[in-house]
Amino acid sequence: MGQNQQAQASEELELISIQDLYKSFIMECPSGSLYLHEFKRMFGVQGGTPESEYMDNIFRAFDMNNDNTMDFIEYVAALNLVLRGKLEDKLRWSFKVFDRDENGRLDRHELRKIVRIIYKIKKGAVPDESGAVILTAEQVCERIFREVDVNSDGQITLEEFVEGAQRSPWLQGFLRLDINPNGYIQKYLCDRKLEASKDS
């Protein structure tokens, strides 16, 4: 999502009261729990795609109590981060998505797995800074380690990841994906406007 679109969606999200957002959540998820398949539907992601596997990781990262559902508080936190989050918060969250074993460090295996998924989502179009050379998934992984693993111990800590990504516009670009609930939010806003015009 472009920065202007993101800023607009962020401003529009601020206009939605928590009560209205809760009503929308309950209409979508009458049980009060958002399941993985519903989460993917909100983001327009189909099963059996690289995006679907990535969304599995995202869902797991937002499922703070590990009950395989997302409650309303987790849902609001997810929307807030995706639409309005600061760069550092998004990087910390990205690290959590990557860190499958939750040991606070990324090894080459973990990084390689998520890089391959992102690489497929981007359809292999991952250039270097000049834009002249298209990198392979393995080259992307090696480049991330070279830029981020400052002590060269073969593992990336959260601090290394956040600081390295903040220094690297290339890495920020690689991590940026167009998977977002903006369409869902826009539809919700349109529905709200229609309801308001009917009431007046």
SS (H, E, C) 113-160: HHHHHHHHHCCCCCECCCCCCECCHHHHHHHHHHHHCCCCCCCEEHHH
Task: Please indicate, yes or no, whether the overall pTM of this predicted structure exceeds 0.95.
Answer: no
* Residue 132 belongs to domain with CATH number: 1.10.238.10
**Number of domains composing the chain:** 1
Q: For 117-163, write each residue's pLDDT tens digit.
A: 888 877 778 888 888 889 998 999 999 999 999 999 999 999 999 99
| Range(s) of the domain holding residue 185 | 3-199
Q: For 31-88, write each residue's pLDDT tens digit.
A: 889 899 888 887 777 777 777 887 887 888 788 788 999 988 888 777 766 666 788 8
